[in-house]
Every structure is written in C-alpha cells, then in structure tokens.
Chains A and B, each alone.
Chain A
C-alpha cells in the first residue's frame, strides 16, 4: 500500500515538474487575469482604475492591455486588466464589474460582452459617482461618459470597397465571422453586407457562416464553402480566427492567387500571408490605441474634464505595400 501511495505522489510530482520545466519562473503578467481581480495596490495614493475587457487570451486583448498599461504608466495611475475567458461569459464579466465597483475605484473602463446586460450595474456606478468609460464596443446606455472604439461598420464597409476593387466589381464573395451575437460580429457582417448591396449590384454574397473564432472549425467551414461555390472570387473573414480558417482552407485547396482574401486585425499568420501576397490585405483596428485612449479618458473623467462621447480609435487598410510603414507597424500585433 505504501509503495502505491508513493507511486501516486511520484507520478503527480513528475507531472508538476514537467509542467514547471516548461515555464520560465517569472511570468506574472500572464497569470494575473485568471485570478480574481488583483487587489488595488494600497501602498501608493495613485488613483485606481480597473479595466474590464472582453477577454484576455487573444492577441488582440493583449495588445489592448499593453496600450492601457502604457497610459497608466504615463498618467501615473494604477490599473488592473481582466476579462472573462470567452466572449459569451456575460455573467462572469458582470461579477468582475461588481467586484470592481466594490473597491471604490476612481473610474472603470469596460468593454461589455453584452450591450444590455450592464445597464443596472451602470446605474449603480452612476449613483456611486464612479465614471465609466466604454471601450471596444458600446453599451445601450448613455451613462458611460465616453466610449473609445473602432467604428466597425465603417471599417467593414471599407473592406467591402477593397474587395470590390480587387475582384473587378462583380462576382461571388463569401463571409466568415466569429459569431452573430456580439456587437463586433454583428457590425462587421452588417457593414460589409450593406456596403456590397448598396454600391455593388454585380457582387453577390453567396454565404455567411460563423466559426466561433475557432481556427479549426473556421477552416472546415471555409473549405466547404469554397468547394460549394466554384466561382467564388473573394472571401472576407471578420476576425483573426475566422480569417486564419480561410487561409488554411485556401492553402489546403491550392487556391493561392485564385481567391481574393481580405481579413481583419493582425497576428503573425495573417501578416505572413499578406507579406507573401497569399492574402490581399486586412483591416486593422488600433488595439493599443483603444487601450491607451480608454485609460486616458478615464483619467480625464476622474478629474472632471469634459470628454467627447465617442472617441474614434480609427482603422487602417494594410496590404503588402504598406505593411512595413511605421504607422501600420505601430498598430499591428503578432
């Protein structure tokens, strides 16, 4: 019996050792978001601003985080950055917001995963005199004193214009997006679709599908759609996971050069594909700017300064001709 227990302990230790071996000792930043919100550092009198994001594990959110940390450093405030694991976890995010409120912060930055679920909590924040700054996507309320976000409808419409230009103004195109419930998913599909319908009567959108941002599922979906539409000329992917699916599918089907692929955001795989010309280009938001501007706005609101309701953080089109321009490099992430 003793030897058996020993066996258990040793095997568990081995597993732990193996895992520990993979990880350089110091990586506190990556682990923080999994914890309940970190205590606001109490040592200094710096104002505390919790930043509640839609997620933390995608590269996009890591870039937003970097921007907000930059602003915190420059403006001398303390921030914590956290978000639920998936963009479907409304309840978790509500809990995070509640906890943040309880700590009586100077201001709160919020990228709501659900544009309506937060209204009661926003009322609470308002009653407590805590200004709320929206970022990335808005809420259906006028309580947030400002919202720093990309105009996704305009950005997706710009993608549609590029698509029309590149395929010569006529033919079949398809869309793949992350989901049909989030603000960004809805706006990007709508922005692209409406622009095509309004301006390019000779272009038909033959299919719009959703892959949850999951690279494997998006690959299988894109492959099926390309197979079912042999005359397909263009494919628009509305977020990073979706467009990676299109790239994989086009590669597996040897479609290089036969399909005009337009994506969204950046990431290493997409950047490589654009450099090589396999992908025509992509719309990039400015995630670092979103993070920076929301904290900056929070600091202003905290001091009682006047703010514009909508802070447009902008978007840019990039392809292989301008991917190395400094102003593009600054907003791309790996």
Chain B
C-alpha cells in the first residue's frame, strides 16, 4: 500500500479510480434522467439540484476530513441546526449586524467541533460515542436556545436576498449589457433573465468551500497529517507529530463546515428551524463514502465527496421528476451506496 503512505503524489492512487467510478455513475444518472424526462435539464431544475446539494455538500466536506483521519462525526447535522439557531439568535433576537450573526454561526460550529476533538483526544472517548453525545447535546441546545420556536430573519431580508441572489446572473447581464443596477441580485421577477440565474450565491459558497477544503487536504500540512493519521496513527505519533493537537484541529474544521452549513440553511429557509437536522449526518457520510472516502481511514478526496453529494441529489431529483414513489427512492439510494462500496472493495482485491 505504497499509495497510502504517499497519498498525494501518485496519479494512480486508489481514490482516483473510485472517483472515476463515482463520476461515471453521476454521468450515467444524468444521461438516463435527461432521456427519461424533458424537464431534467431545464436551467431551473439544474439550479434546484445545485441548491439541494449545497447544504449536504458542505456538511460532507467536513465529514470527509474526519473520516480520512480514521474517525467519524455523527453530530454535523445537529451542529448545523445549532449554528443556524445561534446565527438567528444574534441577528434577530439580539439585533446584531448580519455579518456578526454569520460569524457567530461559524464560531458555534467550530466550538462544537473543538469540543468533539477534545473529547476524542483528551478524554479518550471513541469518536462514535463523543460525536453521538454531541448530536444529542446540540439537538437539545437548539430547542433550549430557540425556546422551541423557529426564529425568522424577517427583519433582515438582506440575508436571504444575498444568499438566494445570483452574482453569476448579474455578471452575465453585465457582459451582455442589460444589467440594471437598481435591481441587483434578481430581487424582482426579471426583465432580463439569463440562463445562469438559477445558480444562486449559496451554491457558489458551497463551491468556494469545496475549493478551500481541497486546498487544505491537498496542499497543507494539516491535510498531509489527516491522511497519515488515518493510515497509521501510531506511526504518525512515533514520527514526532502531535497527533492529539492535529486531530482536534480536524474535528474543529469539521465543526466549522457544519457551522457554514447552518448559515446556509438559515439563509435559504429565511429562518432557523430548531427541530430539523437529525439524519442529515447520514446523508453527509453517504456522500463521502460514495465519493470514495474509506471508512477505515487514510483514503478519500474532496472532489470525490463533491461528486458523491451530487450523486445523492441528482438521484433524488431525477426519481422525483419521474414521480417514482418516495419509498422506492430511499431503496434506490441505499442500493447505490452499497454498490459504491462493493465496487471499492473489489478494486482493492
């Protein structure tokens, strides 16, 4: 397993092949759905798929780090909700400026991640248990802080408008010379719609986050240690790396992404919904696994995870468009998940 010890150099490292598998699968799904329904490739529907991927995709980015590191984070869904609630608490209840609220949401996520990391490294609680505990804690705290009520961003419409506006659409209008400065971000139904309007700003945030995640995983020492600890944590420790500190950093990073997902879901729903979030961690883990991240650690990639997240949302969207009953949609998703891991195993033999 030379690829494991030198994960960043070889072009033929295993997760690349897995990524081709996942990518091929994604293309196949798109082709099938496009042939089956004339509505699948419409700009609005494509925009809908991107939006549906954004929250799960951002969660999956953070989870990818933790899984490559050999751990697991079950708390990302409820940490996301808690972050959304804290953002709303700052903006709506305490009437702080929107950027402060966004920062508070990100910080909440990071602090929850930090607590996860400390539980795992200092208190030696297994990751599964530590983050399961955090799942319950943040689920309860969301309800306590919000006092069981959704908190709305109605006093600060700019939050939702910026998130759901389309900079790409504005750029396109500037390029073709029909941009109306009095109506940026598509606030009103359009006089000059462009084909990229359905690509909303939160989708760009997701892609931005993915690029940053890919950079951290591929080009920084944190990324290198993530793979090294996932392959062999003892060897990494013996080579003088402060394993505890780096693992804590990885959980904190995962929490930060969950916080970002919280800000995104809050902006999209124009509210923090305290009862939502449990179950989202499973979709995030599924995205990472379909994208070739190995649950035994040491393998995975951000591009793979992004593709995995799209496989899940394209599948859900396409089956819905074809009016496949929902119970069967769930069965199909499960089958694809097992199939992806099975192909992964076969390849390794």
Asked whether any CB of chain B lies closer than 8 Å to the CB of A315, the reply is no
Q: Which of A27, A59, A216 has the most CB of B within 10 A?
A: A216
Say yes or no: A269 contacts B271, CB within 8 Å.
yes
Q: Which residue of A lies closest to B45 (CB)?
A: A227
Complex CA–CA separation, A14 to B123 (angstroms):
17
Chain B stretch 111-156: residues in CB contact (< 8 A) with chain A: 111-112, 114-115, 118, 122-123, 140-141, 143-145, 147-150, 152, 154
* In the complex, chain A residues whose CB is within 8 Å of the CB of B145: 19, 22-23
21 contacts between A and B (CB under 8 A): A11-B118, A12-B118, A19-B141, A19-B144, A22-B86, A34-B143, A57-B143, A57-B275, A180-B327, A209-B326, A210-B326, A221-B320, A223-B51, A225-B320, A227-B39, A228-B39, A228-B45, A252-B164, A254-B190, A268-B154, A269-B271
Asked whether any CB of chain A lies closer than 8 Å to the CB of B57, the reply is no
B114's partner among A11, A228, A230 (CB-CB below 8 A) is A11
Chain B stretch 286-326: residues in CB contact (< 8 A) with chain A: 313, 316-317, 320-321, 323, 326
A227 with B42, Cβ < 8 A, contacts A11-B114, A57-B275 known? yes
* In the complex, chain B residues whose CB is within 8 Å of the CB of A256: 189
Say yes or no: B115 contacts A11, CB within 8 Å.
yes
Q: Which residue of B lies closest to A221 (CB)?
A: B320
B45's partner among A11, A214, A224 (CB-CB below 8 A) is A224
Q: Which of A180, A215, A225 has the most CB of B within 10 A?
A: A215
Say yes or no: B115 contacts A15, CB within 8 Å.
yes
B interface, CB within 8 angstroms of A: 37, 39, 42, 44-45, 48, 51-52, 55, 86, 89, 108, 111-112, 114-115, 118, 122-123, 140-141, 143-145, 147-150, 152, 154, 164, 189-190, 200, 265, 268-271, 273-276, 313, 316-317, 320-321, 323, 326-327
Query: Nearest Cβ in chain B — how far from A238, in angstroms?
Result: 14
Asked whether any CB of chain B lies closer than 8 Å to the CB of A56, the reply is yes
Say yes or no: B320 contacts A253, CB within 8 Å.
no
Complex CA–CA separation, A180 to B45 (angstroms):
26
Asked whether any CB of chain B lies closer than 8 Å to the CB of A4, the reply is yes
Q: Which residue of B lies closest to A174 (CB)?
A: B323
Looking at chain B's contact residues, is the secondary structure mostly helix, strand, loop, or mixed? helix
A334 with B269, Cβ < 8 A, contacts A15-B111, A227-B42 known? no
B323's partner among A207, A214, A227 (CB-CB below 8 A) is A207
* In the complex, chain B residues whose CB is within 8 Å of the CB of A206: 323
Say yes or no: A27 contacts B144, CB within 8 Å.
yes
Complex CA–CA separation, A180 to B44 (angstroms):
28
Complex CA–CA separation, A228 to B145 (angstroms):
39
Complex CA–CA separation, A18 to B321 (angstroms):
44
Q: Which residue of A lies closest to B122 (CB)?
A: A8
B48's partner among A14, A30, A34, A227 (CB-CB below 8 A) is A227
Q: Which residue of B lies closest to A31 (CB)?
A: B144
Complex CA–CA separation, A306 to B83 (angstroms):
51
Q: Which of B37, B111, B148 has the most CB of A within 10 A?
A: B148
Query: Nearest Cβ in chain B — how far from A210, in angstroms?
Result: 5
- Interface extent on A, as a size class? 35 or more
A8 with B111, Cβ < 8 A, contacts A215-B269, A269-B152 known? no
Say yes or no: B52 contacts A34, CB within 8 Å.
no
Say yes or no: B275 contacts A58, CB within 8 Å.
yes
A interface, CB within 8 angstroms of B: 4-5, 8, 11-12, 14-15, 18-19, 22-23, 27, 30-31, 34, 56-59, 62, 180, 206-207, 209-210, 214-216, 219-221, 223-225, 227-228, 230, 244, 248, 252-254, 256, 267-269, 272, 334
* In the complex, chain B residues whose CB is within 8 Å of the CB of A228: 37, 39, 45, 320-321, 323
Query: Nearest Cβ in chain B — how far from A265, in angstroms?
Result: 13
Query: Nearest Cβ in chain A — how far from B49, in angstroms?
Result: 9
Query: Nearest Cβ in chain A — how far from B151, in angstroms?
Result: 10
Say yes or no: B144 contacts A23, CB within 8 Å.
yes
Complex CA–CA separation, A214 to B283 (angstroms):
14
Query: Nearest Cβ in chain A — how far from B44, in angstroms?
Result: 5
A220 with B51, Cβ < 8 A, contacts A12-B115, A30-B144 known? yes
* In the complex, chain A residues whose CB is within 8 Å of the CB of B48: 220, 223-224, 227, 252
Query: Nearest Cβ in chain B — how far from A6, in angstroms?
Result: 11
* In the complex, chain A residues whose CB is within 8 Å of the CB of B323: 206-207, 228
A224 with B321, Cβ < 8 A, contacts A11-B118, A215-B273 known? yes
Say yes or no: A57 contacts B274, CB within 8 Å.
yes
* In the complex, chain A residues whose CB is within 8 Å of the CB of B44: 223, 227, 253
* In the complex, chain A residues whose CB is within 8 Å of the CB of B42: 227
* In the complex, chain B residues whose CB is within 8 Å of the CB of A214: 276
Q: Which residue of A lies closest to B86 (CB)?
A: A22
Complex CA–CA separation, A22 to B45 (angstroms):
39
